[in-house]
Amino acid sequence: MYQVERLKINFKTVEEFKVFKEYGLQQLSMFEDLQANMIENYCESPFYGIYYGNKLVARMSLYKRCEKNNQYFGSDQEYIELAKIEVLPEYQRKGLGSTLVSYAKSLGLPIKTIARIKSKNFWEKHGFFPVSYKIEGESNSTLMIWLPNGETGEFAKIS
């Protein structure tokens, strides 16, 4: 079984993130997010990861949000924005992504994420459903929602 841990924001983590930047599309890179949040060993890091030995092989970023008049979760409802999830290519299809998603779900809050690069099936497999939305420059992306306790809410679902 894999263990998810909160990543510290420090120079070691910067070096570990550089490995990920070499893979995948720029929009999935968390390197810039890490640099923007750089405070040595900041304990409230939004980054979580899974190590295989001493190597960071999977990571995600989670942001707790609470907004007035949120169109998806209602007024003043806390939720998690799962901004990015990445698994190094040689570690894909081993359950690491599923472990990260399960960790996010264990926080017990609704989750919002964007399915990019043909990942919609992955999110649906984990109980997320697509909702209608439009974001300029995100034409190939789908907003996906997960609600605790199998709730479906009053969302404008899309197929």
- Report CA 68 to chain centroid distance, whole Å: 22
Share of the chain above pLDDT 70, in %: 67
pLDDT at 64: 87
73-87, 117-131, 132-146: range with highest mean pLDDT: 117-131
Predicted confidence (pLDDT) at residue 66 exceeds the cutoff of 50? yes
pLDDT, tens digit, 9 for 90 and up, residues 80-109: 999 888 899 999 999 999 999 999 999 999
